[in-house]
Homo-oligomer: A and B are copies of this chain.
């Protein structure tokens, strides 16, 4: 591929439009009772732990950072100073397929400990979906639906209306959803500007 063969960027625009359509679709399908339960569990837990692999792990971290700004005691599984999980804690797993091996294994341990497990996933009938106290469903196609890259290629060849790229649709939708959960938590906790600002890292 020669760089001077780049003539346009139409796929960038159409892919962005496709992602927006996908988020709009998910908004319509959200289970509001599940969201309310999730908010109650987060507010009722002693501490919150986030976990996810790959790009879902990055979404988990983005949510954890905002919870910290809000004043929650929050940890990301796998980081240096993350302590042992206890029964009164809430653990939130992010997994599009609900089958990510390492995360599903940890999910089982979390249930053995007796903690609350919430999974944000696109598959209710997945391993993680079935063992969770709350399966928060964001209905997106994930990379396990098709061969990896398959749907992405198809979408770029004109069929993108029907088929989200890889796990991309799930990852973006879960980030948008979780940032909106933060918005709700700000309203619920009445956190002030000054409080949020005072916790944002001052040595980055």
Distance A20 CA – B187 CA, assembled complex (angstroms):
20
Taking CB as reference atom, which chain B residue is nearest A28? B13
- Indicate whether A188 sits within 8 Å of B1 (C-beta atoms), given known contacts A15-B179, A16-B176, A180-B16: yes
Structural contact, A84 and B201, CB atoms closer than 8 A:
yes
8 Å CB interface, A11-28 against B: 11-17, 19-20, 23-24, 27
Q: How far is the CA of A132 from the CA of B82 in the complex (A)?
A: 28
Given A12-B184, A180-B16: A80 and B61 within 8 A (CB)? yes
CA distance A41 to B4 in the complex (A): 10
Q: Which of B16, B105, B109, B192 contacts A23 (CB 8 A)?
A: B16
Q: Does A175 contact B (CB under 8 A)?
A: yes
A74 to chain B, nearest CB (A): 5
Q: B179 near A165 (CB under 8 angstroms)?
A: yes
A181 surroundings in chain B (CB, below 8 A) = 12
Majority SS at the chain A contact face: helix
A201 to B53, CA, bound (A): 11
Q: Does A153 contact B (CB under 8 A)?
A: yes
Task: Flag if B203 contacts A77 (CB, 8 Å).
Answer: yes
> Which residues in chain A, 156-185, are within 8 Å of chain B measured between CB atoms?
156-157, 165, 168, 171-172, 175-177, 179-184
Interface residues of A in 73-91 (CB under 8 A from B): 74-85, 91
